[in-house]
Amino acid sequence: MRTASAYNLVMARGWESKSVEDQQAEALSAVDKSRPQLTPDQLTRKREHDLVLLTRQRILHQLEAAQHPQHREMLENALSDINSRLARLS
């Protein structure tokens, strides 16, 4: 059987963690409010832009390691295409 003080200690911890959870939720909602809400079109464009940037990084990384001239040429052509897509998205 637990004593009353042990029970209160456990309860106090429970309330404390609930308070921390509430504080974290408030902090997240404050961040969400400070960030401008994007329209579905804007979200789509942002995702596409981010995807193109990631693809560009991957191509650059492959280009650094490429040794065969035809492979390098293919990667350079792909990089040129990616750069033009980025220009259209910006």
More confident residue, 17 or 86: 86
- Separation CA 33–CA 84 (nearest Å): 34
Residue 60 pLDDT > 60? yes
User: Looking at the structure, do residues 47 and 61 belong to the same domain, yes or no?
Assistant: yes
User: Looking at the structure, do residues 28 and 47 belong to the same domain, yes or no?
Assistant: no
User: Looking at the structure, do residues 68 and 85 belong to the same domain, yes or no?
Assistant: yes
Domain count of the fold of the chain = 2
Provide the percentage of residues in the chain whose pLDDT is more than 70: 73
Nearest Cα residue to 62 out of 48, 77, 84, 49? 77
- The mean-pLDDT minimum among 5-9, 24-28, 42-46, 73-77 falls in 5-9
| C-alpha separations of 62 from 18, 46, 66, 90 in Å | 49, 24, 6, 24
For the chain, the C-alpha Rg in angstroms (whole number) is: 26
User: Looking at the structure, do residues 88 and 50 belong to the same domain, yes or no?
Assistant: yes
User: Looking at the structure, do residues 29 and 47 belong to the same domain, yes or no?
Assistant: no
Range of the domain at 6: 1-35
Model-level pTM? Answer: 0.58
Nearest Cα residue to 52 out of 78, 16, 26, 21? 78
| C-alpha separations of 32 from 9, 18, 50, 75 in Å | 35, 21, 20, 39
